[in-house]
Amino acid sequence: MEPDAGENGTAVTEFILLGLVETPGLRPLVFVLFLFAYMVTVGGNLSILAAILVEPKLHTPMYFFLGNLSVLDIGCITVTIPSMLSRLLSHERTVPYGACLTQLFFFHQLAGVDCFLLTAMAYDRFLAICRPLTYSTRMSQVVQKLLVVVSWTCAFINALTHTVAISTLSFCGPNVINHFYCDLPQLFQLSCSSTQLNELLLFGLGVLMAGAPVILIVTSYIHVAAAVLRIRSAEGRKKAFSTCGSHLTVVGIFYGTGVFSYMRLGSVEASDKDKGIGILNTVISPMLNPLIYSLRNPDVQGALQRVLSGKRALA
């Protein structure tokens, strides 16, 4: 859908993304750094996926969700970084209106699934540690697949709602976005029409998409912490906390950057800070996730070694 013309201007058919740097001399360095980050992120997450597939020990609900999270990480960085790299090569900074909204849709789709999957992983840890006797029935393969399908469906509704809502706004004046990808706060600043309803929608859906999952995650881990502290074996406590610690680290990075991105609407001065937060969201977090989940996990480390060496795991 093309934007309508405003009263005092022509309808905007494309946006100009300023990118991370405006100094021409720095662009080759930025290109090399982000190409390297992209390759490391995709390679790391594909390695985690391969490890989960080849290692029988990792055929559990927790790693089923982790495999899905790896797919999301690859998708999230692919939505933003390759297009930025192509603009750095071509020196072409314009983005068609439709392409901008398409990028916005897929970014929010993938980020939304991330919200719910992290919640499903917390629920999995709660069941495994607090309800071990009924764990296998409560977290069956059917339940796992259902949780993933529901996550994708809810995220799709959220992303589509925001995309349709932004398409109703008029863009008739400035079309320069001081960022390296299209997102809601930056587009709100360029709109000729009122964005009050859009901002209320972003806040309301944000509470549902992020607030509710955070409450569920915190509640799950309060129960998990209480259960772990009752474990008499120091080794048992260490093992339980290590798997939960990795997940909580990822949750902290993901939700921390999300809050800074979307809860400071209308701050024009913060646009350069938004680029840094955007890098954390789209590059650093997906790149760190494989490292975080494998750093203190001997099963994942062993599986990765077998994947890289070409050896098969013993059943």
* HSE-up (13 A, CA, CB side) for residue 266: 8
> Is the Cβ–Cβ distance between 175 and 14 less than 8 Å?
yes
Measured between alpha carbons, how far is 103 from 101 in angstroms, rounded to an integer?
Answer: 5
Percentage of residues of the chain with pLDDT beyond 70: 89
Residue 7 pLDDT > 50: no
The pLDDT tens digits of the residues spanning 108-151 come to 999 999 999 999 999 999 999 899 899 999 999 999 999 999 99
Give 57's DSSP letter. Answer: G
pLDDT band for position 9 (cuts 50, 70, 90): very low
pLDDT tier at 2, thresholds 50, 70, 90:
low
What is the rounded average pLDDT for all residues in the chain? 85
- Do 117 and 64 form a contact (C-beta atoms < 8 A)? no
pLDDT of residue 269: 52
Specify the pTM. 0.87
Of 205, 196, 86, 197, nearest to 155 by C-alpha is 205
Residues in contact with 78: Cβ distance below 8 Å, sequence separation at least 6, in sequence order: 42
pLDDT above 60 for 160: yes
Determine what percent of the chain is predicted with pLDDT higher than 90.
45
Mean pLDDT, to the nearest integer, of 170-197? 89
Report the distance separating Cα 301 and Cα 305, nearest Å: 6
Of 107, 258, 111, 110, nearest to 183 (Cα)?
107
Q: pLDDT grade, residue 4 (50/70/90)?
A: low
Q: Is residue 3 over pLDDT 60?
A: no
In whole angstroms, give the CA distance from residue 171 to residue 93.
18
Condensed to tens digits (0 to 9), the pLDDT of residues 239-293 reads 777 778 888 888 888 887 777 666 655 554 546 677 877 888 888 889 888 888 8
Q: Tens of pLDDT along 209-223?
A: 888 899 999 999 999
- Please determine, for residue 314, whether its predicted confidence score (pLDDT) is greater than 60: no
Task: Quote the pLDDT of residue 315.
Answer: 44
Measure the CA–CA gap between 60 and 141, rounded to whole angstroms: 9
